[in-house]
Chain A
C-alpha cells in the first residue's frame, strides 16, 4: 500500500543525501585542488630559492648550493630532487639525492613555471616543477624582482621534484573526513527527516485514528484538528459535513424502519389475536362470525400500507415510468371524486369545482389520479361535517397549471404544515383505527416530483387548508 509517510521520508532522504554527497564531492575536490596548489606553490618556492642561488659569471652559470642548508636534496628522508641546466643543455648541478640519475629536462626555455607528474628516481610517484630563468650576475646584490624577470644574459633551466605520498595521504585523509562527515550528516538528516515527517503528519495520523474509531453507531461524533492545520481544515470540514448528512440519513432510515415496523405491528396484533381467539373457540358464533370480514379488512389495510411503501420506494428510486397522455382536467377531477361522493354525502360535505371547460394537460393520468385521489380522500375524511370542499384549476400567464384542493381543517396548526408530507406523520399518532397510514401525502409529493409539479400546503387564517399542485414548467 502506498504511504505518504514513506514517500515523503524517502523523497526527503534521497534529496538530502544527494545534496550532501554532491556538496561533499564538490568540497572534497575544491580542498584537494587547494592542497595540491599549495603543494605546487611550495615546490615552486623551493625552485625559486634555488634560482636565487644560481648566478652567472661571464656567461657561465653556477649555483652556490650547500647540502647542509637544504638536506632534503641529499640523502635525508623524504628526499627531494633538483637539477640545473645551463641554456646550452649542460648540467650545472644536480642534487645528491639524484646520484647519477636525472630529472626530465624541459624541452625548451620557458620563464613560466611548468608542473608535471612523474616517477621519481627512487621509484615513488612525484611532482616536478620546471623553471626557466636568467641567473643574476655574481656580485650583484640587488634581489631579483619576480614580476620583472631578468631576460638578458645566459639562460638556465631548473627542475625541482618532490614525492607526493604525503600529499596523496593528506588528500585521502581529507576524503575520509568528508565521507565520515557526509555519513554523519546523512544520519542526522535521516533522523531529522523522520522526526519532521512524523511530527508534520501527526495531525493526519490523529485524523486517521478518529476515522478508524468511527462506526455506524457513532455517527454523532465529529472530527477535530487541534490546533487547526491549514491543509486539513477543509478536509475535516467536509468530513464533518458528510458525517452530519450521514447521521441524518441513518436517523431517517432508523425512524423509517421503526415507523414501518410500528405501522405493521398493529394489524399483525389484530390478526394474531383474531386467529388465536378464533382457533380456541371455533364454534362460538360471536368469535367466528366477524372473523373473515375482520381478517379481510386487516389484509386490505396491510396491502394499502405496503402498496404505498412500494410506490414511495419506486418513486424515490426513480423506477416509476411516466407515460404521458392528454388528460382532460374536469373529467379527471370527476373520476377522482366519484369514489368519495357517497361518504361526502353522508357527512354533508359539498364539493365545489372551478375548472374551465376543455382544460387539459399532457401528463401521466394514473399518477395524477393517484395524487388527486389522495388529496380528496384527506379532504373528505378530515373536513368538519357539513363544510365545503373546493377544487379549482387555472393556468398562469406563462401557461403553467395550478390545481388546488381546499377544505376546512380546524385541527391543523401552522406548525403542522411542514410535517404534512413527512412519511408516517399523522396529526393524531393514535389513529390506529384509521385506514390511513400517514404515507399518502409523502407518496403524492414523490409522484408530483416525477410529473414536474410542486406539491405544497397552505393554511389560511380561517383554518382552511389548501393543497396546491403547481406545474414547474409550462406544459405543451
Chain B
C-alpha cells in the first residue's frame, strides 16, 4: 500500500517515513505543499498524511486542490492545530481523518490501515480467500489455519492482489503500489516476488492461486 507524507518538519517526516515503511507501506515524503501536490499528481496513493501548516502551499489548500482534481486518496490530517474549528474545517474540505500532534505512532498506523480498508470498501481487517486468511492488522497470513512467514514485500503483494481480487494488476501497477519513488528496482523484481509468494501459498496438487495473464499481469480470481 502506497502512502504520501506531506510534512515540513524534516525530522518528523524522516521518522514517519521510516516507521511506515517498516510497517509495510510504500512511502513517499514531501517537505511542502507544492512538492506534495506534484507527488500526488504523478503517483496513485491509498492514503496521504497531510500537515496543515506547510510552506509554499498550506495543507488546507493542498487538500482543496486534491479534491478538486478528483484524487481518490484518503487523506489523514496530522496537525498541531487541535481546535475543533480546525478539525471541522479540514474534514469539511474532504479529509477522511484528523490526528493531533503529538500522536502515538501505533494509532497513526492503525488509522492508516483503516483508511486503506475504506479505500477498498472493506470493513473486516481479515481478508479471506479460499484456504488463506490474511490479517491486515497483525500483518500475518494463515494457510488452512497454519501460519505462513512472509517478507514485508510478499505480504504487501498478497494484500494488494487480495484487495483487488478479480482485477488484473500490471507489473507497473504492482511496482507503483509496493515501492516508493526512491526505491531502486530491478526489471524482474515483480516476477521474482510473485514466484516466491506462489510457492509459499500454494497447496500441493491444486492450481496456483495467483494467475498469470500473459502480456497483462497478475490476478487472484474472485471466489
Interface residues contributed by chain B, number (CB under 8 Å): 28
A266 interface hit (Cβ, 8 Å): yes
* Complex contact A270–B9 (CB within 8 A): yes
* Complex contact A433–B9 (CB within 8 A): yes
A272–B102 alpha-carbon span in the complex (Å): 7
One digit per residue, 1 when the CB lies within 8 angstroms of any chain B CB and 0 when it does not, for chain A 259-271 equals 0001001101111
B10 interface hit (Cβ, 8 Å): yes
Decide yes or no: A262 and B55 within 8 Å by CB, A273-B12, A276-B19, A277-B18 being known contacts. no
B144 interface hit (Cβ, 8 Å): no
Find the A residue at minimum CB distance from B16: A273
B8 interface neighbour in A286, A298, A433, Cβ under 8 Å = A433
Instruction: Give the residues in chain B near A280, CB-CB below 8 Å.
Output: 19, 22, 105
* Complex contact A273–B105 (CB within 8 A): yes
A287 interface hit (Cβ, 8 Å): yes
A431 interface hit (Cβ, 8 Å): yes
Decide yes or no: A274 and B15 within 8 Å by CB, A269-B102, A281-B22, A432-B53 being known contacts. yes
* Complex contact B12–A266 (CB within 8 A): yes
Within the complex, the shortest CB–CB distance from B171 to chain A, in Å, comes to 27
Decide yes or no: A274 and B11 within 8 Å by CB, A262-B81, A280-B19, A287-B22 being known contacts. yes
A230–B54 alpha-carbon span in the complex (Å): 56
Within the complex, the shortest CB–CB distance from B72 to chain A, in Å, comes to 26
A231 interface hit (Cβ, 8 Å): no
* Complex contact A290–B9 (CB within 8 A): no
* Complex contact A276–B105 (CB within 8 A): yes
Which residue of A268, A271, A277, A287 has the most chain B CB atoms within 10 A of its CB atom? Answer: A277
* Residues in B55-74 with C-beta less than 8 Å from chain A: 55, 58
Within the complex, the shortest CB–CB distance from A283 to chain B, in Å, comes to 11
B122 interface hit (Cβ, 8 Å): no
A287–B22 alpha-carbon span in the complex (Å): 10
Within the complex, the shortest CB–CB distance from A300 to chain B, in Å, comes to 12
One digit per residue, 1 when the CB lies within 8 angstroms of any chain B CB and 0 when it does not, for chain A 418-433 equals 0000000000111111
B173 interface hit (Cβ, 8 Å): no
A270–B55 alpha-carbon span in the complex (Å): 18
B101 interface neighbour in A269, A277, A287, Cβ under 8 Å = A269
Which residue of B10, B15, B101 has the most chain A CB atoms within 10 A of its CB atom? Answer: B15
Instruction: Give the residues in chain A near B105, CB-CB below 8 Å.
Output: 272-273, 276-277, 280
Summarize A's interface: helix, strand, loop or mixed. helix
A284 interface hit (Cβ, 8 Å): yes
Within the complex, the shortest CB–CB distance from B53 to chain A, in Å, comes to 4
A268 interface neighbour in B10, B22, B102, B104, Cβ under 8 Å = B102
B15 interface neighbour in A262, A265, A268, A277, Cβ under 8 Å = A277
* Complex contact A430–B8 (CB within 8 A): yes
* Complex contact B106–A276 (CB within 8 A): yes
* Complex contact A433–B10 (CB within 8 A): yes
Find the A residue at minimum CB distance from B80: A265
Instruction: Give the residues in chain B near A284, CB-CB below 8 Å.
Output: 18, 22
Instruction: Give the residues in chain A near B14, CB-CB below 8 Å.
Output: 290, 294
Instruction: Give the residues in chain B near A322, CB-CB below 8 Å.
Output: none
Which residue of B55, B100, B104 has the most chain A CB atoms within 10 A of its CB atom? Answer: B55
Instruction: Give the residues in chain B near A53, CB-CB below 8 Å.
Output: none
* Complex contact A265–B53 (CB within 8 A): no
A432 interface neighbour in B8, B15, B82, B106, Cβ under 8 Å = B8
A249 interface hit (Cβ, 8 Å): no
One digit per residue, 1 when the CB lies within 8 angstroms of any chain A CB and 0 when it does not, for chain B 70-93 equals 000000000011100000000000
A286–B31 alpha-carbon span in the complex (Å): 19
Within the complex, the shortest CB–CB distance from A287 to chain B, in Å, comes to 5
One digit per residue, 1 when the CB lies within 8 angstroms of any chain B CB and 0 when it does not, for chain A 169-187 equals 0000000000000000000
* Complex contact A272–B58 (CB within 8 A): no
A278–B16 alpha-carbon span in the complex (Å): 11
Instruction: Give the residues in chain B near A262, CB-CB below 8 Å.
Output: 80-81
Find the A residue at minimum CB distance from B14: A290
A358–B19 alpha-carbon span in the complex (Å): 59
* Complex contact B11–A297 (CB within 8 A): yes
Which 8 pairs of residues, A with B, have the shortest CB-CB distance? A277-B19, A276-B105, A269-B101, A269-B102, A265-B80, A430-B53, A268-B102, A270-B12
Task: List 30 A-B residue pairs with CB atoms under 8 Å apart, sorted by A's residue number.
Answer: A262-B80, A265-B80, A265-B100, A265-B101, A265-B102, A266-B9, A266-B12, A268-B101, A269-B102, A270-B9, A270-B12, A270-B15, A271-B102, A272-B102, A272-B103, A272-B104, A273-B102, A277-B16, A277-B19, A280-B19, A284-B22, A286-B18, A287-B18, A287-B19, A287-B22, A294-B11, A429-B53, A430-B32, A432-B8, A432-B51
Please name 6 further chain A to chain B contacts, defined as beta carbons within 8 Å, in addition to the given A270-B9, A432-B9, sorted by A numbering: A268-B101, A269-B80, A272-B105, A277-B18, A431-B8, A432-B53
